[in-house]
Amino acid sequence: MSDIQTEKKRSLVSDAVHAGEVNVASNSRPISQPIYQTTVYGFDTLEMVDAVISQASEGYVYYRLGTPNQTAVEQAMARLEGGEAAYAASSGMAAIFSALSAVLQQGDHLIADKRIYGSTYGLLTTYFPRYGVETTFVDVSDSGAIRAAVRPTTRVLYFETVGNPMLQVADLEKLAELGRELGLLTFVDSTFSSPAVVRPLEWGCDVVLHATTKYIGGHSDALGGVVVGKTDFIASARQTGGMVGMAQGPFDSWLNVRSLKTLPLRMAAHSHNALQVARWLEGRGHLHRVIYPGLWSHPQYELAMRQMPDGCGGMLSFELLGGLPAVSRFIKGLKLIPFAPSLADVTTTISHPVTTSHRPFPPEERAALGITDGLLRLSVGIEDVNDIIEDLDNAFRNL
């Protein structure tokens, strides 16, 4: 007689509530990790739950504090970046917030590159001052400016491997050495690069951050962020994330792990296509400039080749003559390439920083940074490069 037949009969209501509760016994294992879409875990005894919460034994308690899928993406990113540990957050901005909150407190100060991502700028200028944390923005390629900005309360030097949207390249080794000299932690947002292009920890930096929504996920279907660094630091970032509710969800984590399996292949295609498109754009009219680290014309070309010898990623920018009217006509002339306020999809997309990513910057600061009304940011995908160029060529004909 089956176990089902010998079990004590329960009401239909109770059976419905407990439907599908089975422990899977198997001598095989899934090749693709399952999605653990549960918000809470059950325990048989008080001793067991105490052991897991106190971290005396392994296990999971509650969605906000971590899931097997979150652990999987954390372990993968720590390995790919060469870090001791990682914390996977619900978004790139959540990763930045949890990382900075792990080391900053009221009265502290940080130094950040004046050309950082617009939402990071907004976080540092609008929200952190409410907690008594101040930021000085400098050009981090100028070591003298960094030294002049240091205070007794300065804790962090924050910059990006490749800047958004001006594609400036940070000298990782030089900035890491300067950070150690000045007693500052070096935080690097490497979203534009991914560990398939450059690994900042290998150059001596302390903390690396990613919006996994971008190249790590790569398909515009998974939201998330990750911070990688030393074990003690990550434990502090995880404590903040767990308290505030910043954990990366199981399905997003599962999608990000899926995408990491093809990251090196995708980044090689992104880099190849972006270089071909950038070279083609340099030969066009209607342009004030083309910005891509892999071009000879880029002011930091030699640095880019030293840090990113296998390719500079898929991001480039170009400035149209004619300002907003020209931008509007150009975007309307595109058929294959969608206008989208994000980046790093396998699909080529285009964005206008002034009206999207860099809206938080005052107009005069945008202008000073070279983020003009005519500037467009192109996230070059992995399509056939000839199709990408043909679509751009048709858009130029619309000017």
pLDDT (tens digit, 9 = 90+) per residue, 296-345?
999 999 999 999 999 999 999 999 999 999 999 999 999 999 999 999 99
Q: Is the pLDDT of residue 216 over 50?
A: yes
Report yes or no on 77 lying in a domain: yes
Query: Tell me, what CATH number does 80's domain have?
Result: 3.40.640.10
- The token duo for 396 is 């130029």
Task: Let me know whether 231 and 201 are in one domain.
Answer: yes
How confident is residue 253, by pLDDT bands cut at 50, 70 and 90?
very high
Task: Give percent of the chain with pLDDT exceeding 90.
Answer: 86
> What are the tens digits of pLDDT across the range 23-81?
777 889 888 899 999 999 999 999 999 999 898 999 999 999 999 999 999 999 999 99
Task: Let me know whether 188 and 315 are in one domain.
Answer: no
Beta strands in the chain (DSSP E): 85-89, 109-113, 134-138, 154-160, 185-189, 207-210, 225-229, 287-291, 315-320, 349-351, 375-379
Q: Provide φ and ψ at 377, rounded to 5°.
A: -110, 125
Task: Work out the average pLDDT over 178-202.
Answer: 98
- Mean pLDDT, the chain, rounded, equals 94
Task: Work out the average pLDDT over 263-282.
Answer: 98
pLDDT at position 1: 40
How confident is residue 159, by pLDDT bands cut at 50, 70 and 90?
very high
> Is residue 92 within 8 Å of 212, Cβ to Cβ?
yes
Neighbours of 396 (CB within 10 A): 16
Q: Is the pLDDT of residue 22 over 80?
A: no
Q: What sign results for the dihedral spanned by CA atoms 119, 124, 126, 130?
A: positive
End residue of a domain, out of 195, 226, 260: 260
Report yes or no on 11 lying in a domain: no
pLDDT at position 303: 98
pLDDT at position 19: 81
Task: Please give the DSSP secondary-structure letter assigned to residue 40.
Answer: B
Residue tagged active-site, from 114, 214, 238, 266: 214
Q: Is the pLDDT of residue 223 over 60?
A: yes
Three-class secondary structure of residue 62 per DSSP: strand
How far, in Å, CA of 149 to CA of 137, rounded? 9
Task: Let me know whether 274 and 150 are in one domain.
Answer: no
Task: Let me know whether 220 and 296 are in one domain.
Answer: no
Task: Let me know whether 71 and 218 are in one domain.
Answer: yes
pLDDT at position 3: 47
pLDDT at position 2: 44
Q: Provide φ and ψ at 349, rounded to 5°.
A: -135, 160
How confident is residue 6, by pLDDT bands cut at 50, 70 and 90?
low
pLDDT at position 322: 95
Task: Let me know whether 77 and 132 are in one domain.
Answer: yes
Q: Is the pLDDT of residue 398 over 70?
A: yes
Active site residue 41: no
Q: Angle, to 10 degrees, between the axis of helix 68-81 and the axis of helix 250-260?
A: 30
Task: Let me know whether 278 and 178 are in one domain.
Answer: no
> Is residue 259 within 8 Å of 217, Cβ to Cβ?
yes
Report yes or no on 8 lying in a domain: no
Active site residue 8: no
How far, in Å, CA of 193 to CA of 162, rounded? 7
Find, among 330, 307, 87, 393, the residue nearest to 293 by Cα. Answer: 307
How confident is residue 369, by pLDDT bands cut at 50, 70 and 90?
confident
Task: Let me know whether 295 and 306 are in one domain.
Answer: yes
Report yes or no on 3 lying in a domain: no
Cis peptide bond N-terminal to 152, omega within 30: no
Q: 142 exposed, middle or buried (CB, 10 Å; 0-12, 13-18, 19+)?
A: exposed
Task: Let me know whether 118 and 267 are in one domain.
Answer: no
Task: Let me know whether 279 and 229 are in one domain.
Answer: no
Residue tagged active-site, from 41, 62, 64, 139: 64
> What are the tens digits of pLDDT across the range 88-135?
999 999 999 999 999 999 999 999 999 999 899 999 999 999 999 999
Residues of the domain holding 342:
263-396
Residue tagged active-site, from 63, 117, 158, 292: 117
Maximum pairwise Cα distance, the chain: 82
Active site residue 214: yes
Report yes or no on 22 lying in a domain: no
| DSSP secondary structure, 101-169, as one string | HTT--TT-EEEEETT--HHHHHIIIIIGGGGT-EEEEE-TT-HHHHHHH--TTEEEEEEESB-TTT--B
Buried b (16+ CB within 10 A) or exposed e, 233-246: bbebbbebbbeeeb
Three-class secondary structure of residue 100 per DSSP: helix
Query: Tell me, what CATH number does 327's domain have?
Result: 3.90.1150.10
- Please tell me which residue, 145 or 26, carries the higher pLDDT value: 145
Task: Please give the DSSP secondary-structure letter assigned to residue 310.
Answer: T
End residue of a domain, out of 212, 236, 260: 260
- The domain total for the chain is 2
Q: Is the pLDDT of residue 235 over 60?
A: yes
Residue tagged active-site, from 189, 206, 252, 373: 189
End residue of a domain, out of 232, 260, 288: 260
How far, in Å, CA of 167 to CA of 184, rounded? 24
The position carrying tokens 């995408």 is 259
Report yes or no on 40 lying in a domain: no
Task: Let me know whether 224 and 267 are in one domain.
Answer: no
Active site residue 174: no
- The token duo for 24 is 């899977």
Report yes or no on 28 lying in a domain: no
Task: Let me know whether 245 and 371 are in one domain.
Answer: no
pLDDT at position 4: 45
Task: Work out the average pLDDT over 10-29.
Answer: 81
